[in-house]
Structures are given as C-alpha cells and as structure tokens.
C-alpha cells in the first residue's frame, strides 16, 4: 500500500511541475506576442509628423533646475603644455560606475590615440554616484591612476543619462572650451578616431550648425512598460519623437555644444538623453545630419575596421570583441 501511495504522490508532484512549466510557457508566449503585436503596429502606422510636433511643449522657463556638481573632477585633461597645440576633439564617454574592466579596455584600445590625454584628441569618462562605499573607494583609486573621470552628484542609472550627458557638456564648456569638436559616445562603442579626424578635416559639413551621427527623423515612442526606454503618455503625448541623433555617437563643433548647453536650462527635461539633445537642437534650429558609418552594423569585426574609411563607430561591442578588433590581423578589406 505504501508503494502505491508513493507512486501516486510522485505522479501528482510531476503533474504539478508540468502544469507550472506549461503555464510559464503560455505566459512567455503571450508576452512575446503582445510585444510583437506592438512592434508591428508601430511599424505599420503612418505618422503625420508636422501635425504631431506642435503638441510638444519643448520650452519652459528655467525648468532644468538640477544643480549639476562634480564629485570627481579633472580640470587639467585639456591643458596644453604647448601653447600652439590644438585639441581637435574632446570625447565624452558615458559609462557605468562598476564597469572598470570596460573602461580599462577602452584605454588600452581605441583611446590609445589620445596618448593618455596628451594628443590632439582628449577624453573623459562620465559617471554618476553610487551608495556602495567599496565601489566609491575603487573609483577614487582608478581616478588617481588615470585622471580621466568626471563624476556627478546624481544616481548612476539609465534614467539619469540626460543628467550624465549634460554634466559632460557642462564640463566641456567649462574646462575644455578651446577644443574644436565634441564627440559624445557610450562605453560599448568602438570609435575609429582616425576616420573621425578625417571627417572634421574634410569640412564637408558646417558643424557649427549641425549635429552629426546616426540620426533619425521618425522614431516611435516606446510604450511597452517592460522596456527600459518606456515613456508614458503622461510624459510625452506624441507617438513619435522629434528628430535626434543616437547617443551611441554624435559629433558637433564646440560652438554648437555651447549653444546646446546654454539653451538646455529652458528645454523641458526628458530621461532619454539623445532625444533630449534633439529637443535642444530643435529649439536652436540646428540641423541634424545622418552620416553613414556611425553606429555601423557590419558582420566582420576585426582589425580591418581600422583601415575602412567608411566606418566611424560600431555599437554594441563587448570588451572581448574590442580587444580582438584591436589585436587581430587584417589581410584585406
């Protein structure tokens, strides 16, 4: 009798497990179906942009009131020991506090062109604050060694990227105003500095009035609550954003960067930093230029990229992949 009871018990337990797995599978499929249905609806919808734009309240009266201050600052990054030496590009890199390995990889690969912030290209890493005391100590030690970190007085989070970017623009205007151009990028991006230099030397674009990069004129607003880019209707009523350039990499002259920083105090805050910069550009009447080669999506990623004149940046590059790009050989393009 006891053997029968045990068998029945095991059977019920197995049945319960199978039911739980089945319900989990059903829930997952419904969730994916909902997301896919939302995506198809977005792709299939035709937006009348000119009718949407007037609804947006872009300007306000000194509404961006957060007092951005520096918890860590490196005022001498753009110091020139040679009076006639110019700084062609200042690179602002948004990074997460505990991503030391990623910053180290960037320093040892494409940031080599800066020659530890002594060349005509300079850079800083932009960080927010964390309550972790051990992490804070680690960042202080890292900065003491490399002197390339600028840390702001706000929580280091995805929804605070606008504050992090504006901290970078504030720093650029305050401590590196003589740099000719500013490039903003992210920690998971490979930047082809030689090609960026060729781009600005070519002078085919008037970057005093233009923000260039991977720019879009039609981008649907993310309404899915499970997305990190979720924006509720109460925050932004339009179905599409104003034109903007992807935060993975955009470039402009210091002239325009100063204007963007100046006008930002009267532009309604928005948590997606690239969209917010697009709003500032709209208020200024600045142009956006979609430049092929920014945020490139190419299947072959090796050392040949460095020789490809059509590549300015590549997004979603891991540390291991970046090391491989930097050290691999190149037989042909």
The reported pLDDT for the residue numbered 307 is 78
pLDDT at residue 4 is higher than 80: no
State percent of the chain over pLDDT 70: 80
Write the DSSP symbol of residue 45: P
Q: Is 124 helix (H, G, I), strand (E, B) or coil?
A: strand
pTM over 0.85: no
| Mean of all residue pLDDT scores within the chain | 84
**List of E strands, 75-145:** 89-94, 121-129
Cα end-to-end span (Å), the chain: 76
Which range in 207-211, 214-218, 266-270 is most confidently predicted, on average pLDDT? 207-211
Cα 297 to Cα 27, 247, 320, 326, distances in angstroms: 33, 15, 17, 17
Write the DSSP symbol of residue 110: G
pLDDT at residue 290 is higher than 50: yes
Of 105-109, 207-211, 294-298, 299-303, minimum mean pLDDT range: 299-303
**pLDDT-based confidence at residue 5 (cuts at 50, 70, 90):** very low
The reported pLDDT for the residue numbered 302 is 81
Q: Is 65 helix (H, G, I), strand (E, B) or coil?
A: coil
55-327 has which CATH code? 3.90.550
**pLDDT-based confidence at residue 58 (cuts at 50, 70, 90):** confident
- The pLDDT tens digits of the residues spanning 240-275 come to 999 999 999 999 999 999 999 999 989 988 999 999
pLDDT, mean of residues 188-195: 95
Of 55-59, 272-276, 329-333, minimum mean pLDDT range: 55-59
Cβ contact 55:238 at 8 Å? yes
């Amino acid at each position: 009798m006891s053997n029968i009871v045990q068998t029945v018990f095991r059977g019920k337990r197995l049945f319960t497990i199978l039911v739980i797995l089945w319900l989990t599978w059903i829930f997952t499929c419904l969730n994916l179906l909902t997301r896919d249905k939302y995506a198809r609806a977005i792709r299939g919808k035709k937006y009348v942009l000119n009718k949407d734009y007037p609804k947006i309240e872009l300007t306000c009266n000194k509404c961006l009131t957060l007092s951005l201050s520096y918890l860590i600052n490196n005022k001498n990054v753009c110091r020139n020991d040679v009076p006639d030496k110019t700084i062609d590009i200042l690179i602002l890199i948004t990074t997460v506090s505990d991503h030391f390995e990623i910053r180290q990889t960037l320093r040892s690969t494409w940031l080599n062109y800066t020659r530890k912030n002594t060349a005509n290209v300079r850079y800083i890493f932009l960080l927010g604050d964390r309550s972790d005391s051990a992490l804070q100590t680690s960042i202080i030690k890292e900065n003491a060694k490399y002197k390339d970190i600028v840390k702001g007085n706000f929580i280091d989070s995805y929804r605070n990227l606008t504050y992090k970017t504006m901290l970078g623009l504030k720093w650029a205007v305050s401590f590196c105003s003589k740099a000719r151009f500013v490039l903003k990028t992210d920690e998971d991006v490979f930047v082809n500095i030689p090609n960026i230099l060729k781009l600005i030397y070519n002078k085919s674009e008037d970057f005093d009035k233009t923000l260039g990069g991977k720019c879009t004129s039609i981008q649907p607003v993310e309404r899915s609550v499970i997305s990190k880019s979720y924006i509720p209707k109460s925050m932004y009523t339009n179905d599409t954003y104003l034109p903007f350039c992807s935060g993975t990499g955009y470039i402009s002259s210091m002239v325009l960067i100063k204007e963007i920083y100046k006008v930002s105090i009267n532009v309604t805050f928005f948590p997606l930093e690239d969209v917010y910069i697009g709003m500032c550009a709209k208020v200024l009447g600045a142009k956006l230029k979609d430049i092929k080669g920014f945020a490139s999506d190419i299947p072959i990623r090796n050392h040949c990229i460095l020789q490809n004149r059509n590549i300015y940046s590549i997004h979603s590059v891991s540390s291991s992949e970046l090391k491989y790009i930097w050290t691999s050989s190149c037989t042909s393009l």
